[in-house]
Structure 1
Amino acid sequence: SLAFRQPMTSQRIAVVDKRPFFEKALCFGVQHDIVNAAKCQAIIADGAKGTLQVADHFGTSHLYSDLENARTRIVNLVSLYLEDSCGADLEKAACSLRENTFLFHSRSGNDMLKKLHAMPESTVYGDMKGQSLKDFQNERTLTNPFSLAAYRKELKRRQGNAAIIAAALWLADDMGIARSSLEFVSAEAVIRTAILVRFGGNEQGASRSQFAKLVEAVRSTVLASGKMRIPKTVLDDVPDEHREIVDRIRREMEKQDAPSMLNPAMALDVLMNIFESRYFMRETGLEDLDSFDAFVSKEWHQATGGKEDPYSRLTLFMCLAAGVKPKTTVSDVEARAMV
């Protein structure tokens, strides 16, 4: 008889090293004679000093639990800086431990967190921080410490937010909009408005009523051509550092706003309601609001014939109250009859 043997499947056991990067680098340095005994003693002394300082900052150095937490915090800070600055290279990290103090590494890690916290969490100008710096440090050194990948991902996201806000501020300055008007306003909304103003060839368009007139004018152009294409030339004077961001939003406008702009059945007030969350419209008081409401209301515009002076309005309201055909001018005989 023939015996058949099942081939043996080779299996490898993956070893996962969950030690902090600082510990890996220190062990590597000791094993490869990069970090000597004297340097190890200096690291221990600095670590003890730093642990007391960190414990006092977040609680007290008189409680064992706070000291243990502080030790974890400072190791996480050192690990974050070492892994980032040395590109996760253990030999480079060991050399850094040899050439710099332990406290230098912990301060550098803390500086990374401070830098990140100072960056905008969103693209809303002047938005409040979700956490104080101390709460942010508390979370990111102990309860939810950053891995290097997570830190770099969040850094990239916040750098993107800062770049969008910078582009919006440049365009706002170009339109003559005071920065005090931009508090808690989306930077993308400011950029969209600036692009539409340039596309419409109108130097003014930031107030609510001006913007409504701008949209109406642009819409007429778009409907006449049958497509919404905003030429890149409207961005010719935008600085290079802002160009990519502004151009991306220009393309988004063509894609997202075209269906509404190209729908002739959509009333202007409905279109403005859609654009309310996408564009920036500066509030300039009740007079502008009245002008805006009057302009976007087709029925009102037809009734007034475009007349917005107080006397025309009062005459119109008198007609409505008397139950006669509304108009903005009446003869003496008609006025007496209504009274």
Structure 2
Amino acid sequence: MSDATQSTASVGSPSAGGVSVYEQRPFFEKALRYGIQHGMLDNAKLDAIATDAPKGMVQIARYFGSEFLRPELEKAKDRIVNLVSLNLEISSAGDLRQAAELLRDHSFMSRSKAASDLLKALIVMPQNTHFGMNEHGGFTDKHIPLLAKWSLCSFTDYQTEFVKRHKVAQVMKAAIWLADALGLHVDDLEEAGCDAEAVIRTALLAAATRQTQMPDWVRFQKMVANLRKPQAGKNIVLALPKKLPAEFKAVVEAVRDSVEADLPKILDAKLTPQKLFNQTPAFVGRYFWVEDGLAEVDHFDREASAAWHKATGGHSDDSSLLTLFLCIAAGGKVSTGKTLLTEKSATALIRKIRKSGVQTELAKQFILDNAPIEHQGDYVRVWQAFIEDAQATLESDHDYKLHDALSLLRRECNVADE
């Protein structure tokens, strides 16, 4: 047995004055002393530890740098003692008898490797709940610098980081489970790069509205509309799925609390879903929906088609459209837009233009928001060509009797004869 091991074996219980020094010693040393004092570690085991330790130091020095440099060997000594200490304290939950039994039943090198494996697993655990922002796969050479850092960490540091990352991992696993139940694969979540808590929130709303699929934006808006119905708003139950694995219940319940806190705003009919979920900073990214461009375009087309048909009254001739565009550009509401003017309303329109001017962009934006996509370019060109020629006449103070302006409207727009 080496002198160092003999020295360790011969040390008795710490005196009262040396308690603080004893408590600061590596957990491995405490377990070793305990095992020696209680006859759990015989000379053969101590000799094996004394033989394994230098070999392990050289291997660790080589792995992190060079075994030929004394500073690297000194650091390797600290690392191997710390690694074994971590494994013993984690595995025994701080019980010295159990730790001594581990030293007795396993080799010194195996305890070092076991701790190294724990740290490697910790390093590749997710650090945040955003899909697409965490690394995939296991430990690789690029993680070695991180392992070098963590191999010298304290038990408290390890526990703190493990608890934090474990919770993140559970949130992500719960989101994956809930998404899968709604027909969405984890690959879709990765591609979307969404937040796991956002997925859970939407899944809870989907359950409350009896949805069986993860919603796209169109369906998400319908979900919100259903929640806002008077009969629904009073009886919203954010229940956890019956088949949700027990290991996920705590994290899903925590997220459910945040949804319940959001409900007053979600149920506020004064806030459109677009305004709340896409334009309110606190809600942007807080809920998840599948990005389905085709569905959104189809929905937009149907919505725009209805608005366009209502505003134009089904008319598509240039005169009717220019009449509508001019009324809108003069500050008129789309709902009161006209495709036919009387002599009196045409006169009133000209006077309004001469008082407040023409906002040409209002008409253009109306076209882009509501006209059929295939005709938008043509309608914009028709409008711009008209207003470039007509604006000076419509706004001219020299034509105080409005003769030129009225003649222009009769020629280009729809003005009924009286």
Q: Is the pair's TM-score, using the shorter chain for normalization, greater than 0.5?
A: yes
* 1:277 aligned partner: 285
Match of 2:162 among 152, 155, 165: 155
**2:142 paired with 1:137:** no
Q: Separation in 1 of the partners of 2:17 and 2:59?
A: 41
Unaligned runs of 5+ in 2: 1-15, 341-408
Match of 1:174 among 178, 181, 184: 181
Deviation at 1:137, TM superposition (A): 1.2
Secondary structure of 1:257's match?
helix
- Residues 318 and 277 of structure 1: is their aligned pair in 2 closer, same or farther, counting only changes over 3 Å? farther
Q: Computing the radius of gyration over CA atoms, which structure comes out larger, 1 or 2?
A: 2
- Residues 204 and 79 of structure 1: is their aligned pair in 2 closer, same or farther, counting only changes over 3 Å? closer
- Superposition TM-score, scaled by structure 1 size: 0.76
- Residues 219 and 45 of structure 1: is their aligned pair in 2 closer, same or farther, counting only changes over 3 Å? same
* 1:201 aligned partner: 210
- Superposition TM-score, scaled by structure 2 size: 0.63
Q: Separation in 2 of the partners of 1:95 and 1:286?
A: 64
CA contact under 8 A between 2:319 and 2:413: conserved in structure 1?
no
Q: Separation in 1 of the partners of 2:319 and 2:148?
A: 67
Deviation at 1:244, TM superposition (A): 4.1
Deviation at 1:51, TM superposition (A): 0.6
The residue type equivalent to 2:97 in the other structure is E
* 1:44 aligned partner: 50
* 1:72 aligned partner: 78
Secondary structure of 2:228's match?
helix
Deviation string, structure 1 residues 28-69 (Cα, Å, up to 9, x no partner): 333343323333232122111111111011100010001111
Deviation at 1:284, TM superposition (A): 1.9
Deviation at 1:323, TM superposition (A): 4.1
Give 1:281-296 correspondences, 5 Å limit. 281-285=289-293, 288=296, 291=299
Deviation at 1:99, TM superposition (A): 2.6
Deviation string, structure 1 residues 160-207 (Cα, Å, up to 9, x no partner): 222222221122112222333212311111111111122123345522
Match of 1:119 among 125, 128, 141: 125
The residue type equivalent to 2:37 in the other structure is Q
Q: Separation in 1 of the partners of 2:249 and 2:305?
A: 40
The residue type equivalent to 1:141 in the other structure is S
Q: Separation in 1 of the partners of 2:97 and 2:320?
A: 85
Identity %: 35
Deviation at 1:108, TM superposition (A): 1.1
Q: Separation in 1 of the partners of 2:306 and 2:273?
A: 14
Deviation at 1:293, TM superposition (A): 11
Q: Separation in 1 of the partners of 2:147 and 2:106?
A: 23
| Aligned residues between the structures | 311
Give 1:238-277 correspondences, 5 Å limit. 238-254=244-260, 256-273=261-278, 274=280, 275-277=283-285
The residue type equivalent to 2:75 in the other structure is N
* 2:346 aligned partner: none
**2:236 paired with 1:229:** yes
Q: Which structure exhibits the higher relative contact order, with contacts defined as CA atoms closer than 8 Å and separated by 6 or more residues? A: 1
Q: Separation in 1 of the partners of 2:298 and 2:229?
A: 23
CA contact under 8 A between 1:204 and 1:210: conserved in structure 2?
no
Deviation at 1:279, TM superposition (A): 0.4
* 1:186 aligned partner: 195
The residue type equivalent to 1:192 in the other structure is R
- Residues 71 and 318 of structure 1: is their aligned pair in 2 closer, same or farther, counting only changes over 3 Å? farther
Q: Separation in 1 of the partners of 2:50 and 2:310?
A: 81
Deviation string, structure 1 residues 116-164 (Cα, Å, up to 9, x no partner): 223222222243249953132111113xx132x4323332332222222
* 1:7 aligned partner: none
Q: Separation in 1 of the partners of 2:47 and 2:310?
A: 85
With 57-66 and 286-295 compared, the bigger mean Cα shift is at 286-295
Secondary structure of 2:205's match?
helix
**2:224 paired with 1:219:** no
The residue type equivalent to 1:190 in the other structure is V
* 2:19 aligned partner: 15
Q: Separation in 2 of the partners of 1:70 and 1:216?
A: 63
- Residues 193 and 320 of structure 1: is their aligned pair in 2 closer, same or farther, counting only changes over 3 Å? farther
CA contact under 8 A between 2:172 and 2:196: conserved in structure 1?
yes
Q: Separation in 2 of the partners of 1:293 and 1:38?
A: 82
Unaligned runs of 5+ in 1: 1-11
Q: CA RMSD in A?
A: 3.8
Q: Separation in 2 of the partners of 1:156 and 1:306?
A: 59
CA contact under 8 A between 1:219 and 1:262: conserved in structure 2?
yes
CA contact under 8 A between 1:77 and 1:109: conserved in structure 2?
yes
- Residues 14 and 100 of structure 1: is their aligned pair in 2 closer, same or farther, counting only changes over 3 Å? closer
Deviation at 1:319, TM superposition (A): 6.1
- Residues 179 and 293 of structure 1: is their aligned pair in 2 closer, same or farther, counting only changes over 3 Å? farther
The residue type equivalent to 1:212 in the other structure is Q
Secondary structure of 1:277's match?
coil
- Residues 87 and 215 of structure 1: is their aligned pair in 2 closer, same or farther, counting only changes over 3 Å? same
* 2:7 aligned partner: none
